Amino acid sequence: MKVPVTFSGGRGPSFLTVSVILRTLLVTAATAAIAIGCFSAVPAQAQQTAQAGTNSLDGDWVNVDPNTRGIVEIVIAGRKVHPYGACHPTACDWGVIKARGFASNVDSSDIGRLVAKKDNGFSQVEITLSLGADGRLRAERFAHFTDRSGRADYSAVDYFQRGGQP
């Protein structure tokens, strides 16, 4: 059964009029929010800083913590990462690892992050490398032990400054 739709006759604005006004206000508010967000100087400035800081990860990087038990040095050349672990009396050479490059967004061509994966036989390690706003290299490691030793998988973050090769 169809119910006839009636509008108020002279007792104030109709439901249809109120609905149109509310939609217009919502669209105007949404448009203003988008305009403020898109044309604001702060996001553009932050994006420029992020892109400027990621122009090149290439170089020789030394851990800022001389007592690290993780990676002491990393040499990056393009998409090749060459980490050196904390072993004694000299650093352990992990060998050259091919890395996958990631841009900050789908429209960018600047590589701002590298992800390298290494299988050591007893563990699988993933290293994520990115350049911080302070110019230091940030290396985040995720280690998964595969040798049934009972050791806990772990993650760690190290920071590096430009330096010499090991």
Please give the pLDDT value at position 106.
Answer: 87
Looking at the fold, whether 67 and 22 belong to one and the same domain comes out as no
Check whether residue 150 and residue 99 sit in a common domain: yes
Residue 60 lies in a domain: yes
How confident is the model at residue 105, as a pLDDT? 81
Give domain status of residue 24, yes or no. yes
Of 124, 104, 120, 112, the C-alpha closest to 79 is 112
Per-residue pLDDT at 20: 53
* pLDDT on residue 107: 82
Q: In this predicted structure, what is the pLDDT of residue 57?
A: 92
Structural domain span for residue 79: 56-162
Same domain, yes or no: 45 and 78: no
Do both 30 and 100 map to the same domain?
no
Q: Are residues 123 and 73 in the same domain?
A: yes
Q: pLDDT of the chain along its 166 residues, tens only? A: 554 544 445 555 555 555 555 565 555 555 444 444 544 444 444 444 333 333 489 999 999 999 999 999 999 999 999 999 999 889 999 999 999 999 888 887 788 899 999 998 999 999 999 999 999 999 999 999 999 999 999 999 999 999 864 4
Chain-centre distance for alpha carbon 163: 24
Shared-domain flag, residues 64 and 86 = yes
User: How many domains, the chain?
Assistant: 2
Is residue 4 one of the residues assigned to a domain? Answer: no
**CATH number for the domain including 67?**
2.40.128
pLDDT score of 115: 96
- Asked whether the CA dihedral 131, 132, 135, 141 is positive or negative, the reply is negative
DSSP H/E element including 36: helix 15-39
